């Protein structure tokens, strides 16, 4: 097992371990797709699947995961209590409880309040338990899971490209969401992230065990004005849920997902293969995708920009403009941004997420005029389109012909 303190210094070595032999290879043709009683050869499903989701492999692991997921749902009520408490604190000081405040002002207000501070502490403890439960299992059973990935690496449908010698930017080398090893430093980052974020969704915007959120996003994606969709790119694709959903919606299109995390795209490819979806994954930077100019009809991303520095966000937007064809569009999905003031509880949670949940660049993102940067790159913002993920920003950005 890798020592977490040395994970990021050993990124290249980890990358080499997980895929040097397959770097740059094409997957086998779809005709070689080898099913065994309905599942691909080498697929590990110790307790079967519930629809698209493979069940966690033991009752012990599943029970703990169910507990942390249920507690996260309960914590939504705790958050509402904390919000009400902050509003009362504002009223007691003669301030507008619905007003707009800067983060430092809010932190001074809540620093000694037990209820507000407890809401943060219990949330982070639940987060830590979520990751520990998953990481402990996958590392304790590493051989079987590595063998499963090796079986899938150069099997189709779809392709996988790993680039273990690529330089991993420092801005990505953080344990985002306090996930041990982050997205680049643990060979099971994809496994851990997928099950862990299923828990996040339940406590935030709804169940996602069957990829409902990502499928809904893909279904709401607009068509280019000319209706032509031959190639699609998802930047920062993570475990490939949106990428796979886009490939399912557009089965005749060539669909690519790129991510800096080799373990993430490796898991994404394995899962898409298990689902029988023809989609391509590559370990590449969103700001340097290596694709030709004007190559894609649709370019999108899913909640990555708040994980980037402002400079990296600008570079990714510029790359999106370069690889989008005239008449195509860029639709990055992320939180609304553009100011340093807001409702008091939201400001507290944003700071708390940044400080304790390792959202290192989140505060930079939230002060960025994201739509303005997209327009500076050359896109024209379509103001009439609704957000494809309700509650998030609507950024339907067209590259004029």
Domain boundaries along the sequence of the chain = 4-59+133-398
Q: How confident is the model over 88-132, as pLDDT tens digits?
A: 999 999 999 999 999 999 999 999 999 999 999 999 999 999 999
CA distances from 231 to 247, 255, 294 (A): 10, 6, 10
Both tokens of residue 128? Answer: 């830590």
Yes or no: say if 286 and 238 are a contact pair by the CB < 8 Å rule: no
Tens of pLDDT, residue by residue over 26-43, are: 333 333 333 334 567 778
Q: Is the pTM of this model over 0.85?
A: yes
pLDDT of residue 38: 58
Q: Is 208 in contact with 214 (CB distance < 8 Å)?
A: yes
Q: Could you please report the per-residue DSSP string of 47-82?
A: T-EETTEEPPSSHHHHHHHHHHHHHHHHHHHHHHHH
Judge residue 312's burial from the number of C-beta atoms within 10 Å of its C-beta, 0-12 exposed, 13-18 middle, 19 or more buried. Answer: buried
CA distance linking residue 110 with residue 299, whole number of Å: 42
**CA gap 184, 9 in Å, rounded:** 11
For position 351, what pLDDT does the model report?
93
Cα–Cα distance, 368 to 335 (Å, whole number): 11
CATH no. for 4-59+133-398: 3.40.50.150
Q: How open is the CA angle 320-325-326, to the nearest 5 degrees?
A: 115
Q: What pLDDT score does 202 carry?
A: 86
Low-confidence residues in the chain, pLDDT < 50: 1-37
d(C-alpha 374, C-alpha 370), whole Å: 6
């Amino acid at each position: 097992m890798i020592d977490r303190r040395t994970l990021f210094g050993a990124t290249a070595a980890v990358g080499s371990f997980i895929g040097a032999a397959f770097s740059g290879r094409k997957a086998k043709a779809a005709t070689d797709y080898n099913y065994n009683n309905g599942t691909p050869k080498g697929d590990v499903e110790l307790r079967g699947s519930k629809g698209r989701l493979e069940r966690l492999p033991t009752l012990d692991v599943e029970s703990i995961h169910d507990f942390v997921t249920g507690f996260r749902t309960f914590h939504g009520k705790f958050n509402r209590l904390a919000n009400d408490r902050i509003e009362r604190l504002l009223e007691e000081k003669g301030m507008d409880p619905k007003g707009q405040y800067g983060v430092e002002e809010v932190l001074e207000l809540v620093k000694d309040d037990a209820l507000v501070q407890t809401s943060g502490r219990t949330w982070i403890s639940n987060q830590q338990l979520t990751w520990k439960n998953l990481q402990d299992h996958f590392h304790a059973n590493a051989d079987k899971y590595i063998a499963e990935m090796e079986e899938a690496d150069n099997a189709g449908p779809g392709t996988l490209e790993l680039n273990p010698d690529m330089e991993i930017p420092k801005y990505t080398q953080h344990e985002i969401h306090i996930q041990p090893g982050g997205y680049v430093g643990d060979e099971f980052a994809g496994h851990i992230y997928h099950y862990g974020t299923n828990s996040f969704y339940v406590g935030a915007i709804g169940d996602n065990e069957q990829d409902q959120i990502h499928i809904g996003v893909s279904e709401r994606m607009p068509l280019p004005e000319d209706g032509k969709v031959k190639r699609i790119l998802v930047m920062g694709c993570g475990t490939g849920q949106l990428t796979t959903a886009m490939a399912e919606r557009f089965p005749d299109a060539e669909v690519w997902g790129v991510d800096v995390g080799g373990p993430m795209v490796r898991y994404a490819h394995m899962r898409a293969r298990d689902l029988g979806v023809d989609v391509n994954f590559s370990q590449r930077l969103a700001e340097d995708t290596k694709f030709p100019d004007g190559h894609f009809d649709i370019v999108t991303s899913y909640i990555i920009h708040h994980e980037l520095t402002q400079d990296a966000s600008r570079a990714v937007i510029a790359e999106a403009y370069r690889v989008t064809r005239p008449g195509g569009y860029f639709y990055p999905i992320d939180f609304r941004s553009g100011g340093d003031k807001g409702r008091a509880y939201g400001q507290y949670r944003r700071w708390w997420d940044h400080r304790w949940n390792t959202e290192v660049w989140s505060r930079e993102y939230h002060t960025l005029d994201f739509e303005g940067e997209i327009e500076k790159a050359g896109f024209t913002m379509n103001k009439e389109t609704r957000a494809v993920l309700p509650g998030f920003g609507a950024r339907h950005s067209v590259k004029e012909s």
